Amino acid sequence: MTFIAYGLYFAALTGLAWALAAAMQRVFDGQLPAGMLRVETALLRGAGVDPARGMTWLGYGMAVLAFNLAGFVLLYTLLRLQGALPLNPDGIGGMSADLAFNTAASFVTNTNWQAYSGEAQLSYLSQMAGLTVQNFVSAGTGMAVAVAIVRGFVAPKGTTLGNFWLDMTRSVLWILLPLSILLALFLAAQGVPQTLLGAVTATGVEGGEQIIARGPAAAQIAIKQLGTNGGGFFGVNSAHPFENPTVASNLAQCLSILLIPVSFCFLFGRMAGDRRQGWAIFATMAVLFVAGLGVVHAYEVAGNPALGLGENMEGKEQRFGAMLSALWATSTTAASNGAVNAMHDSFMPLSGMVTMVLMQIGEVVFGGVGAGLYGMLLYVVLAVFLAGLMVGRTPEYLGRKIESHEVTLAVLAFLSMPLGILVGGAIAATVPQALAAVQDAGPHGLSEILYAYSSATGNNGSAFGGWGAALPWHTTALGVVMLIGRYAIILPMLAIAGSMIRKPKAAATSGTFPTHGPLFVTLLILTVLILGALTFFPVLALGPIAEETARLAGQSF
């Protein structure tokens, strides 16, 4: 029954994503009703933007950076001043400088790492005008960048990749906003609060009083999932009954996490004029996802034999159980979402390792909205280059040559992940101020550090529960790492797209390596595993693998 349930979930996800991809293609091609076109044109011209003006890769990248910098400054200012601003019925004060920096960097980069508890440290104004706005525009940024990069690979020879302001506006107005409204209404019907009233005081069965936080949660939760943002309205995220009250709300949110990332696979095939190319990307991601889910499911359902209690239910909600927790954990770390309905710190060692690996390979197993696709295209460039070396031909992809310039840029983008994770984690493992955040000694303590820096660099946002995320050292260091993880991939990938679009397309010949069949899918999977996963194997051997070895030997730390 378990496998049937997983199969039905994946079939529903694939069908919905296939349909959404068709709608997304019409949106980005501008095949919209006249009224919608007039709305977006009026908004853009009101902002001083000419939507018809194309941008080179550098112009597109500078627009991304300028827009994100403005969002960072506005959000940082709002968080610092929230105590003196309206829509703050519970009288919450402003954030400290380091925490505001961390939070602003987190939400602008679509990471949504939370070193705070939302119901206790954020006003309604900060939640709505700050975080929710960034949930939309950071996701819209990723979608716009992905579409621009795809144009670079598939469009006729030219010099421009489109217009960032137009692509981002269309992403938010015609894709994210309508889907979020539908999901928010469903979640509200399931019992998720949507109110501007403050907290309430309730009397428990034993006579004690309890303060129950509430607020405009449904609207933020909808976009947090659809935009692969993941930042919770409440501190315990989607394990909280006000964020995720029922099995139906859980399945709807789990589908929402992967819906747009999967759609981008099929959108790629449509834009390329060869849907087999999209299916090849989808198949690569799906195989890696199913493999990861299989490991997490097996370990969490079997539980810890030393305890003899059946399923591993530590840190999990009874209303979801081990199966739905395993599905969510795999989905949220495969996508750069980071929302949790169970505490990953309590997972079995190898289950925790899978969630780390999914982040360490660059969040390319579906990944973030847009970010997963352009992250996988990075591996495509490297895979095609390796295939060319093996057969002694100039590497090509979709009729365009992959040359040293593109490979160099791809390697630079790839190295941003080891830089943030291994270098950042190594520093954190040796500095006393940083080590104070670690809850457990031994291999699990190393796993806490490794998970945190994998999550920040991969723009995921989840963490092992024992990690002391609010220490000034980590709020600062992780904020920097989030920025590196986002823009050190976006800019080189835009540069690759800018280089590719200037090249003529060559017709396929009998000697052309096909990039849509099982052989290419296998090569791409091996490239992801060899370059991605094996880069981190030594440190994983000292963390979760050592922890699992000790468990099998009957030892504990």
Q: Are 329 and 351 in contact (CB under 8 A)?
A: yes
State yes or no: pLDDT of 539 exceeds 70.
yes
* Beta strands 400-401 and 209-212, pairing class: unpaired
Q: Can you give the pLDDT at residue 55?
A: 97
Q: Can you give the pLDDT at residue 1?
A: 53
Q: Both tokens of residue 412?
A: 């630079």
State yes or no: pLDDT of 309 exceeds 70.
yes
Neighbours of 47 (CB within 10 A): 9
Q: What is the mean pLDDT of the chain?
A: 93
In angstroms, rounded to a whole number, what is the distance separating the alpha carbons of residues 132 and 28?
Answer: 23
Q: Can you give the pLDDT at residue 21?
A: 98
* Own/partner pairs, 504-507, CB within 8 angstroms, 24+ separation: 504/157, 504/400, 505/156, 505/157, 505/398, 505/399, 505/400, 506/396, 506/399, 506/400, 506/401, 507/399
Q: What is the pLDDT of residues 323-355, one digit of tens each?
A: 999 999 999 999 999 999 999 999 999 999 999
Give the residue with greater pLDDT, 468 vs 187: 187
Determine the residue type at 1: M
Determine the residue type at 44: L
Q: What is the pLDDT of residues 393-447, one digit of tens each?
A: 778 999 999 999 999 999 999 999 999 999 999 998 888 888 888 988 889 999 9
Residue at token pair 């997490």: 296
In angstroms, rounded to a whole number, what is the distance separating the alpha carbons of residues 224 and 112?
Answer: 9
Mean pLDDT value of segment 473-488: 95
Whole-number percent of the chain with pLDDT over 90: 79
State yes or no: pLDDT of 375 exceeds 60.
yes
SS3 category, 137: helix
pLDDT band at 132 (very low <50, low <70, confident <90, very high): very high
Find, among 404, 407, 398, 379, the residue nearest to 156 by Cα. Answer: 398
Q: What angle do CA 200, 201, 206 make, to 5 degrees?
A: 145
Q: Is residue 200 within a helix (H) or strand (E), and if so which, with residue range? A: strand 200-203
Q: Which of 203-212, 245-254, 257-266, 525-534 has the lowest mean pLDDT?
A: 203-212
Find, among 256, 259, 261, 254, the residue nearest to 329 by Cα. Answer: 254
State yes or no: pLDDT of 191 exceeds 70.
yes
Q: Can you give the pLDDT at residue 452?
A: 95
Q: What is the pTM of this model?
A: 0.95
Q: Are 363 and 457 in contact (CB under 8 A)?
A: no
Q: Both tokens of residue 328?
A: 């969510």
Give the CA distances from residue 309 to residues 312, 314, 349, in Å, rounded to whole numbers and listed in that order: 7, 10, 17
State yes or no: pLDDT of 557 exceeds 60.
no
In angstroms, rounded to a whole number, what is the distance separating the alpha carbons of residues 475 and 521?
Answer: 39
Q: What is the pLDDT of residues 218-232, one digit of tens each?
A: 999 999 999 999 988
